[in-house]
Amino acid sequence: MRGSVELVIKNRWISIFSLFFLGAVLFFQQEWYGYFGKDNYVMIHLMIEILLIVSSIAIAIQAWMFFPHVFSQKRLWMGAIFLSVGVLEIFHALSYKGMPYFLSESSAYKATWFYLLSRLTLAIGLLLFVFAKEKQALPFHRWMAYCVSLAYSLIWIFIIFDPNQLLPEVVVEGAGTTAVKNTLQYLAILIQSLCIFFCLKTLRSSSTLHLMLLVGSVYLIISDFLFTTYMSVYDMANLTGHFFQLAAYYFVFTALYYVSVKEPYQKLKEAKEQLQEKERFLHTITSSMGEGIIVMDMDGNVTFVNPKAEQLLLWQKDELVGMHYSHLIQEADATLPSHQHVEHTASMRTTDIQLNQMHESFYIRKDKTTFPGSYITTPFIENGNNKGFIMVFRDMSQQKRDQEYITYMANHDELTQLPNARFFLERLSDVLEQNNGSKVAILLLDIDRFKSINESLGISFGDLVLKTVASRIHGALPSEVFFSRLRGDEFALFVASSQADEETISISQRIQEIMREPFALQHLLLNITVSIGIAVCPDDGHSRSDLVKYAQIAKNEAKREGQRFKRFHPTMDKQLLERLVLEHDLHKALSRDEFLVVYQPQIDVHTGQIISVEALIRWNHPVRGWISPLHFIPLAEENGLIVPIGEWMLRTACRQLKEWHNQGFTSLGVSVNLSMRQFFQQDLVDMIDRILKESKLSSPYLELEITESMTMNVNHTIDMLHKLKKLGVKIAVDDFGTGYSSLLYLKEFPIDRLKIDRSFIRDVTTNKHDAAIISMIVSIANHLEMEVIAEGVEHVDQLDFLWEQQCRQVQGYLFSPPILPEQLPLHFHEIQKRSISYRSRVGM
């Protein structure tokens, strides 16, 4: 923009100077002529002609020299025309009247004809230059054009110097120019006017070429008019015409110099600056790119790399340039395109390259280390020709690590880092498909009572249990066993071996063995067990889904029967169906009033009195009859029915106890079990308070039994038990010593009574460990001023042992089985008599 403004200003000054020169010459021509004088005319004319000749020959030489760089047909023929003009002007100057003898006597005839031919040649040449379109010339055209120009000039020289004077006179001394000369001069004016017309038509304020040609053409026309008016070759008009001719040549020369030298140089300079700017821009882009760029020639040799490529490959640019690309990429990589498996010395051609396709390979650093990279190769096209190839690549190390991590996380459990269900099932399918006749055994296992752990201690503690159990089992398994976590607390593994039956038994036993050791988690010492179900292909099934289903059935059956592991048997399928039917009936049992509460007396052995009863639920199925709680309570816990069933049982027991109080059994209390789900109910306290008010039962007569598993969430347990104690009810710990025992909660929790589990009572007279545990529990309770009761007492020797240990309260079939509510008043005194008699028998 700035260059264009400067050019406009320059052109304006040229126009102003031209007008000034024109005025100066026309108004002061007499003074000029008087200053030089007629005596000096020939020398002045010669000096002017020398300048004209030099200008013409310079234009010709300039066109000759610049032709190999531009191959411009217009500029070439203009140079040839000015060569003719220059040669003709030389002979015009040498043959001018008054000049020394040259080939013949000088004369106005010869000089004027040389001028006229030079003038017409120039006019026609300028017209052709202005009107002709630019075309590309061939190298040999230069010699042809200049030879034609010289031949043209020589022909006219021979014609003019012919002694017979082949041409008419054009100047008569004293009379002036002839009609022939004037006609030719006017013809030149006409041609030059056409040039002026075209220049005016195409003139722009910033077009130096057309402005120069316009001014030069004007001066030439003025000189033409002056050359038609002089009377003598020595008069002022002729001299003035030469001045304007000289000025015209200057402007024409300047115009041709501008388009031949200055304008191309300026364009070259601008192009160079633009190229430098583009190079800086390209350098900035390539330096800022996060990808490496390698440019190669057709032989695969590196010609350019960007800074990122240097950084990734640990090579300097100077070291990489000239190196064959195959030194930078691992050839053995099967993912490379075909051209990247060639030998180092082989040349790389277009047909060998898979272009515009994304590939992956390993790149070799300077220190011989490698990194994964992705790249795309494109042809390097310059001026329509393929000069080589451009490879754009990037380091995929982090992406590979991310992909590996994503793949790992897609196939593994986030908590335990074991293979997940999807991965396990895929591997199991592969093993089954590739099975060559050997057996494939699948083992499913889950953690017993894990739901209670999760609900009582919270999810984070449950996660800790899962991680610890998974780690212990995984560490004990053979390395070839595929062990995974399916979901929740359920794990799975499979064994493919001809001895699969024996190996599954061995693995199951090993798992049970390592699970016997308690788990020290936070402040608790937990005894955790697992139940295992086994299914074997092809004995139990062939498909993946069947094996998983059958192992699930076997696991549930093992859990139901209290066994640690169990192999699938076809009868289990039937049992599963029965379980589903039972669960369906359980949903309707409460609305159909099929449940019944029975009561088992609790005896004070010191007095033989019935002090309380434990409420126990029974299900009287309309088709199956009486169903044990061992069968339907776990189902109710799983599907959540235990909450409404527990509320119904608590309401029933409180109403029944109030009815007995009204019958005169005023000292009797009742003990009711709370389930895990009930204990974590938000409205448990409000529900119990509402039931006590509805039944009008005094709260001290109600005892709520909780299990040790409920106490693991210490904060919740403390909060809940204190709220219950505010109601006035008593709190007992059921099955003490079988769960997650901790002396801490005996200190912190408001507990009134401990209940010794029947499992310790069963062999107390023959098992010293059971005896020691009972003795310890009783001692702890007595020292903490808690009541203690033993359940499951069925023999007198058991009663005798408990008496010796100062356990005052007992419960069991030795005194009475659970009985219907209407039978208790009938058998109340009978049971007390029986207890007194046992008391006398053991010497109490």
Residue 333: what pLDDT? Answer: 41
Q: Look at 27-36, 135-144, 557-566 and tell me which has the smallest mean pLDDT.
A: 27-36
Q: Look at 123-127, 227-231, 488-492, 806-810 and tell me which has the smallest mean pLDDT.
A: 227-231
Q: How many C-beta neighbours within 10 Å does residue 820 have?
A: 12
- Which tokens is 821 given? 């509510």
Residue 10: what pLDDT? Answer: 54
- Best CA proximity match to 552, nearest among 575, 581, 529: 575
pLDDT of 229 strictly over 70 = no
Q: How far apart are CA 224 and CA 247, in angstroms?
A: 13
pLDDT, mean of residues 697-724: 86
The CATH class for the domain spanning 2-264 reads mainly alpha
Q: How far apart are CA 744 and CA 730, in angstroms?
A: 19
Confidence of residue 354 (pLDDT cuts 50, 70, 90): low
The answer to whether the beta carbons of residues 610 and 603 sit under 8 Å apart is yes
Looking at the chain, the whole-number percentage of residues with pLDDT higher than 90 is 23
Residue 574: what pLDDT? Answer: 66
CATH for the stretch 290-401: 3.30.450.20
pLDDT, mean of residues 658-671: 95
pLDDT winner (highest mean) among 228-237, 539-548, 569-578, 677-686? 677-686
Report which of residues 679 and 48 the model is more confident about: 679
Give tens-digit pLDDT for 379-388. 888 777 888 8
Residue 693: what pLDDT? Answer: 95
Residue 470: what pLDDT? Answer: 93
pLDDT, mean of residues 183-199: 79
Residue 239: what pLDDT? Answer: 67
Indicate the residue type of 665. Answer: F
Report which of residues 267 and 460 the model is more confident about: 460
pLDDT winner (highest mean) among 521-535, 576-590, 777-791? 777-791
Give tens-digit pLDDT for 406-431. 888 889 999 999 999 999 999 988 88
Q: How far apart are CA 709 and CA 448, in angstroms?
A: 12
Confidence of residue 205 (pLDDT cuts 50, 70, 90): very low
Residue 772: what pLDDT? Answer: 92
pLDDT of 631 strictly over 60 = yes
pLDDT, mean of residues 685-709: 92
Q: How many C-beta neighbours within 10 Å does residue 519 have?
A: 16
Q: Look at 50-64, 400-414, 587-601, 602-616 and tell me which has the smallest mean pLDDT.
A: 50-64
Residue 335: what pLDDT? Answer: 39
Q: How far apart are CA 761 and CA 786, in angstroms?
A: 19
Domain boundaries, the chain: 2-264, 290-401, 414-568, 589-759+816-841
Residue 787: what pLDDT? Answer: 94
Q: Look at 17-31, 276-290, 401-415, 704-718 and tell me which has the smallest mean pLDDT.
A: 17-31
Confidence of residue 15 (pLDDT cuts 50, 70, 90): low
pLDDT of 822 strictly over 90 = yes
Q: What is the DSSP letter of 259?
A: I
pLDDT of 358 strictly over 90 = no
The answer to whether the beta carbons of residues 533 and 443 sit under 8 Å apart is yes
CATH for the stretch 589-759+816-841: 3.20.20.450
Q: How far apart are CA 388 and CA 350, in angstroms?
A: 8
- Best CA proximity match to 495, nearest among 537, 529, 533: 537
Q: How far apart are CA 572 and CA 554, in angstroms?
A: 7
Strand pairing class (702-707; 730-736): parallel
Q: How far apart are CA 692 and CA 655, in angstroms?
A: 9
Report which of residues 109 and 320 the model is more confident about: 320
CATH topology of domain 414-568: Alpha-Beta Plaits (3.30.70)
Residue 742: what pLDDT? Answer: 60
